[in-house]
Amino acid sequence: MLPERPTTADLEAAYVRRGAELVRCDAARRLAVETLEAERVLIDAWADGHDAAGTILPGD
């Protein structure tokens, strides 16, 4: 939130905060996508009976 009459420093601080929020959001999104892709690879390998997935459940 900016004051009624923001200074240049206020605006710069707001841009820095917004930039940090975007970086955090993008990192979280990338992690979610990487996790989903890795899960799908493991599930596909397990479903196809390949050893590439390794042991997923005890007794596999």
CB 38 within 8 A of CB 30: no
CB 49 within 8 A of CB 38: no
Residues 6 or more apart whose CB falls under 8 angstroms from that of 37 comprise none
pTM: 0.64
Mean pLDDT, rounded, for 33-37? 97
Q: Give the pLDDT confidence score for residue 54 in this predicted structure.
A: 60
Q: Give the pLDDT confidence score for residue 57 in this predicted structure.
A: 58
Q: Where are the domains of the chain?
A: 8-53
Mean pLDDT, rounded, for 28-47? 93
Burial class (CB in 10 A: 0-12, 13-18, 19+), 15: exposed
